[in-house]
Amino acid sequence: MDAALDVAIATGPRPEPAPIRKLLPDAVMGMVLFVFTEAMLFAGLVSAHTIVRALASEWPPAGQPRLPFRATMVNTAALLASGAILAVAQRTYRRRPSDAVGPMLLSLVFGAFFVLFQGREWAALLAEGLTLTSSPYASFFYVIVGMHALHAVAALGALGWAWLRLRAGRLSPAQLGAVALLWYFVVLVWPVLYARVYL
Amino acid sequence: MTVRRRVATLVVLLLVLAPELAHACPGCIDLKTKNRVAFFVTTIVLSLLPLGMVGGMAVWLRRRARALGAGIGDRGPGTQTPDP
């Protein structure tokens, strides 16, 4: 009798598992973890810069070109505007995805302006004699700002990919969320780097 | 005096007399206030930033779970299913 009951239990319909409502899409969660590690990378670089700057008797060192902090302020505003426009695009996407194509393109244009302007600034500084090996001041500038530029280029690529998918009507909310998170990180970490390196 | 006691005495003497000031801490070898502050601040930032990020994320997820009525904590780990 007991054996028959066991068989009936074993072969009977299995209870449906309770549906799991995810708090965050996997793509966004993965990007959150990536952003955490990148935040620590920049924190380490800024810490090293802070200590070397404190140990130096003169900062910036004499005879070294000064960083163009006023011109970069304009560039910073462009990057912040790019982030704000992307937030608008995300909001628009929730209402009607096709309407987000324009704002997202505008965000891309502002971001590309930032990267191109930074490249132009680097070229000018190199021409003035500020190279990677000319002083710790220059080394930190190129390593920290270069690392940020690398992230900005990668995030711009991701943003461009997302824009193409959006235009084709194939961009999922999770994909947009993950790409936007990376871009917000690039946007928000810049004012900290600007304040530490340029000012 | 037994061998064990002699060894113990030697170890204690070495521990008490041999060590010298170890310049392992960069904050201790440079007494300029500016440097000490820089080391102190960066140590605090690098220690608290990861804790703040992970803690902030945990708090945010908990609030979101409550807002969605998902009640992750109430259902227990047995009800979780892996991602497809």
| Residue numbers in A near B78 (CB within 8 A) | none
Question: Inter-chain contact B61–A44, Cβ cutoff 8 Å?
Answer: no
CB A51 within 8 A of CB A111: no
Chains A, B: CB contacts within 8 A come to 53
Q: Which three-class secondary structure state does DSSP give residue B48? A: helix
Domain annotation covers residue A144: yes
User: Which residue in B has a C-alpha nearest to residue A24's C-alpha?
Assistant: B61
Write out residues in chain B with pLDDT < 50, as ranges. 72-84
- Which residue from B32, B49, B83 is facing A43, i.e. has the nearest CB? B49
Question: Inter-chain contact A24–B49, Cβ cutoff 8 Å?
Answer: no
- What type of residue sits at position B36? R
Is the pLDDT reported for residue A4 higher than 60? no
Domain annotation covers residue A97: yes
| Residue numbers in B near A24 (CB within 8 A) | 61, 64
Question: Inter-chain contact B39–A17, Cβ cutoff 8 Å?
Answer: no
Q: What is the mean pLDDT of residues A50-67?
A: 83
Cis amide prior to A97 (ω within 30 degrees): no
At A192, is the pLDDT very low, low, confident or very high (cuts 50, 70, 90)? very high
Domain annotation covers residue A103: yes
Question: Inter-chain contact B68–A17, Cβ cutoff 8 Å?
Answer: no
Question: What percent of chain A is modeled with pLDDT above 90?
Answer: 66
A108-137, pLDDT tens digit by residue? 999 999 999 999 998 999 888 888 888 888
Domain annotation covers residue A14: no
Cis amide prior to A61 (ω within 30 degrees): no
CATH number at residue A109: 1.20.120.80
Q: How many domains does chain A have?
A: 1
Closest by alpha carbon to A20, among B28, B70, B76, B65?
B70
Is the pLDDT reported for residue A63 higher than 90? no
Question: Inter-chain contact A36–B53, Cβ cutoff 8 Å?
Answer: yes
Of A29-33, A65-69, B61-65, the least confident = A65-69
pLDDT attached to residue A8: 52
CB A129 within 8 A of CB A191: no
- As given in the structure block, the two tokens for residue A56 are 């130096």
Q: What is the mean pLDDT of residues A24-45?
A: 94
A136-190, pLDDT tens digit by residue? 888 999 999 999 999 999 999 999 999 999 999 999 999 999 999 999 999 999 9
CA atoms within 13 A of residue A151's CA, in its CB half-sphere: 24
Domain that holds residue A129: 28-55+67-197
Question: What percent of chain A is modeled with pLDDT above 70?
Answer: 92
ipTM: 0.73
Domain annotation covers residue A18: no
- Which residue from A20, A53, A54 is facing B80, i.e. has the nearest CB? A20
Domain annotation covers residue A86: yes
Question: In chain B, where are the structural domains located?
Answer: 27-70
pLDDT attached to residue A11: 63
| Residue numbers in A near B75 (CB within 8 A) | 18
Q: Could you tell me if A27 lies within 8 Å of chain B, comparing CB atoms?
A: no
pLDDT attached to residue A107: 96
